[in-house]
């Protein structure tokens, strides 16, 4: 199992504006052969997130500035549900 922090704005500006950064987790089987060839068969899932305009050190200057601006307005935090998973089957050679 492995997890990673993924900045959605690197993929799409609009998605990055409302979703920001999410944490991804992958679970599966990685097989590496003696000749350096490998296969991975698994899934990638994201963790649900909370929309709360929290300050953080993982955003860039623009993202953090927009987050701080949003925090100045009244509102209610809410959960962002990210259901499902993506199946991955890849192979290669080192």
Distance CA 19, CA 23 (A): 11
Place of tokens 């963790």: 47
| Residues paired with residue 79 on neighbouring β-strands, in sequence order | 50
Q: How confident is the model at residue 3 (pLDDT cuts 50, 70, 90)?
A: low
C-beta separation of 23 from 37 below 8 A: no
Pair of tokens at residue 94: 């080192």
Architecture of domain 2-93: 2-Layer Sandwich (3.30)
pTM: predicted TM-score of the whole model, two decimal places: 0.62
Q: How far apart are CA 21 and CA 9, in angstroms?
A: 8
Rounded Cα distance between 13 and 15, Å, is 6
pLDDT, one tens digit per residue, over 31-84 is 999 999 999 999 999 988 888 888 888 777 888 888 888 888 888 888 888 899
């Amino acid at each position: 199992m492995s997890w990673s922090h993924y900045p959605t704005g690197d993929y799409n500006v609009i998605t990055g504006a409302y979703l920001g950064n999410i944490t991804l987790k992958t679970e599966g089987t990685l097989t590496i052969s003696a000749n350096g060839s490998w296969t991975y068969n698994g899934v990638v899932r994201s963790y649900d997130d909370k929309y709360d305009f929290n300050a953080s050190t993982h955003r860039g200057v623009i993202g953090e500035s927009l987050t701080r601006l949003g925090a100045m307005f009244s509102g209610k935090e809410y959960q962002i549900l990210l259901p499902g998973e993506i199946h991955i089957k890849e192979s290669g050679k080192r």
